């Protein structure tokens, strides 16, 4: 059975760009042991800004889920509550964000598979 998905093609192209242009090599990816790539993917894929809520002694604390180690990267597009909802983004930008999310998920899966293999 042949399967072709333009979405998968966009994700693969974005992952290739991340490696070739941004320098996100396997060695670089392996540094993100606290699941930062997955969290960044969630932020890119979410249809609206996401914030983590935690309750401490009756007080709700809201925090930005972007990985702290990525402070100077694409987080600038997600500055506090100024992030537009996905429905407010141009369609091309929404598709681009989803391709970035997919590429980051693929990188996280690859990292986890390498971790699993190393433990054997």
Mean pLDDT score of the chain, rounded to an integer? 80
Helices (H), the chain: 6-20, 26-29, 36-45, 91-119
Task: Judge residue 45's burial from the number of C-beta atoms within 10 Å of its C-beta, 0-12 exposed, 13-18 middle, 19 or more buried.
Answer: middle
CA distance 42 to 112: 17
- For residue range 30-60, list pLDDT tens digits in order: 999 988 899 888 888 887 767 666 667 766 6
Q: What is the pTM of this model?
A: 0.74
pLDDT band for 82, please (50, 70, 90 cuts): very low
Beta bridge partners, 56, equal: 59
Structure-token pair, residue 46: 């979410």
Domain map (residue ranges) of the chain:
6-115
- For residue range 60-72, list pLDDT tens digits in order: 666 666 656 555 4
Task: Judge residue 87's burial from the number of C-beta atoms within 10 Å of its C-beta, 0-12 exposed, 13-18 middle, 19 or more buried.
Answer: exposed
CA distance 103 to 12: 7
Report whether pLDDT(83) > 70.
Answer: no
What is the pLDDT averaged over residues 11-29? 94
CB-side neighbour CA atoms (13 Å) of 57: 0
């Amino acid at each position: 059975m042949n399967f072709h998905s333009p979405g998968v093609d966009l994700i693969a192209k974005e992952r290739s760009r991340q490696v070739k242009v941004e320098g996100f090599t396997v060695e670089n990816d392996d540094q993100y042991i606290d699941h930062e790539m997955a969290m960044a993917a969630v932020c890119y894929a979410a249809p609206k800004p996401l914030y983590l809520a935690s309750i401490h002694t009756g007080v709700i604390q809201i925090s930005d889920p972007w990985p702290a180690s990525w402070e100077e990267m694409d987080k600038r597009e997600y500055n506090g509550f100024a992030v537009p909802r996905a429905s407010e983004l141009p369609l091309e930008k929404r598709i681009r964000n989803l391709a970035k999310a997919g590429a980051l998920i693929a990188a996280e899966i690859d990292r986890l598979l390498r971790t699993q293999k190393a433990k054997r």
